[in-house]
Structure 1
Protein backbone atom coordinates (compact mmCIF):
# COMPACT_ATOMS: atom_id res chain seq x y z
CA UNK A 1 0.00 0.00 0.00
CA UNK A 2 1.28 3.47 -0.94
CA UNK A 3 1.59 6.15 1.75
CA UNK A 4 1.31 9.93 1.50
CA UNK A 5 4.93 10.22 2.71
CA UNK A 6 6.09 7.89 -0.06
CA UNK A 7 4.36 10.00 -2.72
CA UNK A 8 5.86 13.15 -1.22
CA UNK A 9 9.36 11.63 -1.39
CA UNK A 10 8.94 10.49 -5.00
CA UNK A 11 7.63 13.87 -6.18
CA UNK A 12 10.37 15.72 -4.29
CA UNK A 13 13.04 13.49 -5.85
CA UNK A 14 11.82 14.21 -9.38
CA UNK A 15 10.74 17.84 -9.11
CA UNK A 16 12.31 20.78 -7.26
CA UNK A 17 9.77 21.73 -4.58
CA UNK A 18 9.79 24.64 -2.17
CA UNK A 19 6.83 23.12 -0.34
CA UNK A 20 4.89 19.90 -0.68
CA UNK A 21 2.10 18.41 1.37
CA UNK A 22 0.40 15.12 0.52
CA UNK A 23 -2.64 13.79 2.37
CA UNK A 24 -4.50 10.54 2.04
CA UNK A 25 -5.13 7.61 4.31
CA UNK A 26 -6.74 4.91 2.20
CA UNK A 27 -3.63 4.03 0.16
CA UNK A 28 -5.11 4.91 -3.24
CA UNK A 29 -6.64 8.42 -3.12
CA UNK A 30 -4.46 11.43 -2.32
CA UNK A 31 -4.53 15.23 -2.23
CA UNK A 32 -1.38 17.29 -2.76
CA UNK A 33 -0.29 20.91 -2.55
CA UNK A 34 2.93 21.38 -4.50
CA UNK A 35 4.90 24.62 -4.75
CA UNK A 36 7.67 24.51 -7.34
CA UNK A 37 9.67 27.06 -9.32
CA UNK A 38 9.29 24.65 -12.26
CA UNK A 39 5.62 25.71 -12.43
CA UNK A 40 6.39 29.36 -13.22
CA UNK A 41 5.04 30.31 -16.63
CA UNK A 42 3.22 27.00 -17.11
CA UNK A 43 -0.49 26.31 -17.25
CA UNK A 44 -2.28 23.83 -14.98
CA UNK A 45 -2.08 20.93 -17.44
CA UNK A 46 1.66 21.41 -17.94
CA UNK A 47 2.18 21.56 -14.16
CA UNK A 48 0.27 18.33 -13.64
CA UNK A 49 2.28 16.70 -16.42
CA UNK A 50 5.48 17.58 -14.54
CA UNK A 51 4.14 15.90 -11.40
CA UNK A 52 3.01 12.83 -13.36
CA UNK A 53 6.47 12.66 -14.94
CA UNK A 54 8.05 12.71 -11.46
CA UNK A 55 5.72 9.88 -10.37
CA UNK A 56 6.37 7.82 -13.50
CA UNK A 57 4.60 4.47 -13.71
CA UNK A 58 3.49 4.72 -10.08
CA UNK A 59 0.58 6.88 -11.23
CA UNK A 60 -0.86 3.98 -13.22
CA UNK A 61 0.22 1.08 -11.04
CA UNK A 62 0.06 2.24 -7.43
CA UNK A 63 -1.94 5.47 -7.19
CA UNK A 64 -5.60 5.45 -8.14
CA UNK A 65 -6.29 9.19 -7.75
CA UNK A 66 -4.20 12.27 -7.02
CA UNK A 67 -5.86 15.65 -6.68
CA UNK A 68 -3.29 18.44 -7.00
CA UNK A 69 -3.02 22.12 -6.26
CA UNK A 70 0.11 23.26 -8.13
CA UNK A 71 1.48 26.76 -7.63
CA UNK A 72 4.62 28.69 -8.43
CA UNK A 73 6.42 30.28 -5.45
CA UNK A 74 5.11 33.69 -6.55
CA UNK A 75 1.50 32.47 -6.65
CA UNK A 76 1.93 30.81 -3.25
CA UNK A 77 3.31 34.04 -1.75
CA UNK A 78 0.31 35.99 -3.11
CA UNK A 79 -2.15 33.50 -1.63
CA UNK A 80 -0.44 33.62 1.76
CA UNK A 81 -1.01 37.37 1.93
Structure 2
Protein backbone atom coordinates (compact mmCIF):
# COMPACT_ATOMS: atom_id res chain seq x y z
CA UNK A 1 0.00 0.00 0.00
CA UNK A 2 1.32 3.45 -0.94
CA UNK A 3 1.74 6.34 1.48
CA UNK A 4 -0.48 9.38 0.89
CA UNK A 5 1.04 12.85 0.52
CA UNK A 6 -0.64 14.09 3.72
CA UNK A 7 0.98 11.22 5.67
CA UNK A 8 4.39 12.15 4.25
CA UNK A 9 3.87 15.74 5.37
CA UNK A 10 2.64 14.62 8.80
CA UNK A 11 5.72 12.47 9.39
CA UNK A 12 8.15 15.14 8.27
CA UNK A 13 6.46 17.69 10.54
CA UNK A 14 6.67 15.26 13.47
CA UNK A 15 10.45 15.10 12.97
CA UNK A 16 10.94 18.75 11.97
CA UNK A 17 8.09 20.82 13.46
CA UNK A 18 9.21 24.11 11.86
CA UNK A 19 9.48 22.64 8.36
CA UNK A 20 7.94 24.25 5.31
CA UNK A 21 7.06 21.37 2.98
CA UNK A 22 6.01 21.09 -0.64
CA UNK A 23 5.13 17.59 -1.89
CA UNK A 24 4.64 16.62 -5.52
CA UNK A 25 3.31 13.31 -6.85
CA UNK A 26 5.74 12.67 -9.71
CA UNK A 27 3.97 9.88 -11.54
CA UNK A 28 0.36 10.39 -10.48
CA UNK A 29 0.41 6.94 -8.90
CA UNK A 30 0.72 7.89 -5.22
CA UNK A 31 3.96 5.94 -5.10
CA UNK A 32 6.66 8.31 -6.42
CA UNK A 33 6.99 11.67 -4.70
CA UNK A 34 9.32 14.64 -4.59
CA UNK A 35 9.48 16.92 -1.55
CA UNK A 36 11.08 20.26 -0.86
CA UNK A 37 11.73 20.67 2.85
CA UNK A 38 12.99 23.89 4.44
CA UNK A 39 13.89 23.81 8.13
CA UNK A 40 16.13 25.75 10.50
CA UNK A 41 17.26 22.34 11.81
CA UNK A 42 19.23 21.94 8.56
CA UNK A 43 21.47 24.94 9.21
CA UNK A 44 25.12 23.87 9.33
CA UNK A 45 24.30 20.33 8.16
CA UNK A 46 25.53 18.77 4.94
CA UNK A 47 23.01 17.84 2.26
CA UNK A 48 23.48 14.16 3.18
CA UNK A 49 22.78 14.90 6.85
CA UNK A 50 19.68 16.89 5.90
CA UNK A 51 18.35 14.02 3.80
CA UNK A 52 19.11 11.55 6.59
CA UNK A 53 17.07 13.70 8.99
CA UNK A 54 14.06 13.60 6.67
CA UNK A 55 14.44 9.90 5.83
CA UNK A 56 14.61 9.04 9.54
CA UNK A 57 11.01 10.27 9.86
CA UNK A 58 9.90 7.22 7.87
CA UNK A 59 11.90 4.46 9.57
CA UNK A 60 11.33 1.07 8.00
CA UNK A 61 8.56 2.47 5.77
CA UNK A 62 11.20 4.14 3.58
CA UNK A 63 11.60 2.03 0.45
CA UNK A 64 8.59 -0.13 1.30
CA UNK A 65 5.34 1.70 2.06
CA UNK A 66 6.98 4.89 0.77
CA UNK A 67 8.53 3.62 -2.43
CA UNK A 68 10.30 6.74 -3.70
CA UNK A 69 10.89 10.21 -2.24
CA UNK A 70 13.20 12.60 -4.08
CA UNK A 71 14.35 15.32 -1.69
CA UNK A 72 15.45 18.91 -1.94
CA UNK A 73 16.38 20.32 1.47
CA UNK A 74 17.75 23.58 2.80
CA UNK A 75 17.78 25.96 5.74
CA UNK A 76 15.67 29.10 5.42
CA UNK A 77 17.27 32.10 3.70
Distance in 1 between residues matched to 2:52 and 2:16, nearest whole Å: 11
Number of residues of Structure 1 aligned to a counterpart in Structure 2: 74
The answer for the alignment partner of 1:32 in structure 2 is 35
Distance in 2 between residues matched to 1:14 and 1:72, nearest whole Å: 15
Any conservation in 2 of the 1:22–1:30 contact (CA below 8 Å)? yes
Q: Which runs of 5+ in 1 are unaligned?
A: 75-81
TM-score by length of 2: 0.85
Structural RMSD (CA): 1.3
Distance in 1 between residues matched to 2:9 and 2:24, nearest whole Å: 9
Q: Which runs of 5+ in 2 are unaligned?
A: none
What's the CA shift for 1:39?
A: 0.4
Distance in 1 between residues matched to 2:8 and 2:58, nearest whole Å: 8
| Structure with the largest fraction of helix | 1
